[in-house]
Structure 1
Amino acid sequence: MQTRPRSHLAILALTLIAAAAPAAAQRAPNGPAPSAAAAPSEAARAVAGTSWEFSNADRDRHCAVAFRTEAAGPIGMRLELDKACAGVFPFLRDAAAWTLADNDFLRFVDARGKAMLEFSEVEQGLWEAPKPGEGILFLQTAASVKPPAPSSEEMAGEWTLRRGGRVLCAVTLAATPAVDGFALRLGPDCDAAVTRFAPIAWAMDRDELVITGAGNRTWRFEETEPKTWQRVPETRDPILMVKR
């Protein structure tokens, strides 16, 4: 039996490899993408273990988002959006998956794997992404989301200013419009600390109660518990606004 020279065998092997290469290249796009094939990063696992809210900057539009570590085909990991998301953010209808590698952006990607949003982490539990026409969009953990501030209608009514358990003054936050918000009325026999400040108006500024006094001076209060607001910045003996 005649044996082929080794050089001929080597040439034949190289020819077969070269012929197989185009077929492999054609199959590659249908194979798993590197990001999907790799195990989820530590950062991805941390995100997937938490409930999230997706919102605009004013939080007048928001919905719930859940991140899963199971693969969503070759483009990334499974992204679950609340039914309300498509209504308040129509562009999210195209979101098909998410990706996140260590020290990288958290991305929402479409069915082709193209990034729709790129979130950077600004602090633990808070991510932000710019989007033309939408401004800055946010992801924050559900546990960190503050309840919406009370409306002006909810804040209007009878209050007392207190310090260290002592009543300083009875205060009425009226619903009557004033120059700096709404009118404010003081009861009789107020403490000198209140009369010197001479409050005349009140308003809500995001989640703070702002009281305006003489000379456009202001006292700011933040809610510490239901119907109790504390003047900020905090002091050893803070002034409280307590609703009656």
Structure 2
Amino acid sequence: MAISLLAGMLSSMPVRAQQVSSQPTTPSQPAPSMKDQMIGKWELSTTERSKTCVVTLAADAVPQGFRLELEPGCGKALPFTKEIVNWAIRGLDIVRLQDASGQSVIDLTEVESGIFEGQRAGEGIYLLQTLEAARASVRPMDQMIGDWAIVRGNGNTICRLTLTNTETSADGFDVYLKPRCDPAVENFAPAFWRLERGEILLMSRRGETWHFEADDNAQWRRVPDSANPMILLRQ
């Protein structure tokens, strides 16, 4: 009696409910790992991109990490790359370029989407970004060398200066002011410049920095902006 009652209950269940319960569930696709996201061609460079090296990160396992390839000329542009043999992920978010024993040559962490930053003691900061992004978004430093004017928003020129390609020990290049600059510029006294993440940086010997960002009018405007802006114009 009990068995026939149970059979009747099962046969009266909605067909849809039986079908749903019998269908296998499809697992969601896992998010790409950090290692997977790093596979491909990257540019390792100084912050102003005056020295660059193309690095290909591969997925092939090798002792201590994964295979990489350095383009010819990397050792001349960035001498420390001569020590790099392979690469690895350390912790949750560190990309390590390392020697044959697995010791770090440089560790890089993501500071912006797709842009990694690392520092070597006594040498300065280096950037790692995809080769495509580096070549598409960053202006060649050679285009910046030459004579410039700093003008106010009303068009009045307050200073003329020259950006050179003469390297300094401050991870930048010499700046020369021309006579009769506005006191605001003379007091700031820019001595060095460099390109960094798409901005022109003017730096004083006191460690102060002015940032200039390209705007929609192909001008370089000091940021943060103000009611009486400063604009760098190529002469």
**Counterpart selection for 1:123 from 97, 111, 135:** 111
Equivalent residue, structure 2, for 1:46: 37
| 8 Å Cα contact 1:69-1:78 kept in structure 2 | yes
Cα distance in structure 2, aligned partners of 1:237 and 1:120:
38
Q: TM-score, normalised by structure 2?
A: 0.53
Equivalent residue, structure 2, for 1:79: 68
Cα distance in structure 2, aligned partners of 1:91 and 1:242:
37
Q: Pick 1 or 2: higher relative contact order, CA cutoff 8 A, min separation 6.
A: 2
1:231 paired with 2:218, answer no
1:100 partner SS: strand
**Counterpart selection for 2:178 from 180, 183, 188:** 183
- Provide the alpha-carbon RMSD of the alignment: 4.2
Q: How does 1:11-90 map to 2 (within 5 A)?
A: 42-49=33-40, 51-56=41-46, 59-71=49-61, 73-90=62-79
Equivalent residue, structure 2, for 1:31: none
Deviation at 1:79, TM superposition (A): 0.4
The structure that is helix-richer by fraction is 1
User: 1:142-201 deviations in whole A, cap 9, x for unaligned?
Assistant: 425733556885124xx58353xxx442566266xxxx9412458xxxxxxx8xx67669
Q: How does 1:204-215 map to 2 (within 5 A)?
A: 205-206=193-194, 207-208=200-201
Q: How does 1:150-169 map to 2 (within 5 A)?
A: 154-156=146-148, 159=149, 161=151, 163=153, 167-169=154-156
User: What amino acid is the match of 2:107?
Assistant: F
Cα distance in structure 1, aligned partners of 2:155 and 2:37:
49
Aligned length: 177
Cα distance change, pair 234–93 in 1 and its aligned pair in 2 (3 A): same
Cα distance change, pair 132–205 in 1 and its aligned pair in 2 (3 A): closer
Cα distance in structure 1, aligned partners of 2:151 and 2:123:
41
Cα distance change, pair 210–134 in 1 and its aligned pair in 2 (3 A): closer
| 8 Å Cα contact 2:193-2:203 kept in structure 1 | yes
Cα distance in structure 2, aligned partners of 1:109 and 1:241:
41
Deviates more, 1:144-153 or 1:118-127: 144-153
Deviation at 1:67, TM superposition (A): 0.9
Cα distance in structure 2, aligned partners of 1:223 and 1:198:
19
| 8 Å Cα contact 1:160-1:243 kept in structure 2 | no
Deviation at 1:43, TM superposition (A): 0.2
User: What amino acid is the match of 1:183?
Assistant: K
Provide structure 1 residue ranges, at least 5 long, that are not aligned to the other structure: 1-40, 187-193, 212-217
Cα distance in structure 2, aligned partners of 1:181 and 1:53:
31
**Counterpart selection for 1:146 from 134, 138, 144:** 138
Equivalent residue, structure 2, for 1:173: 160
Q: TM-score, normalised by structure 1?
A: 0.52
Provide structure 2 residue ranges, at least 5 long, that are not aligned to the other structure: 1-31, 163-174, 195-199
User: What amino acid is the match of 1:154?
Assistant: G
Equivalent residue, structure 1, for 2:212: 222
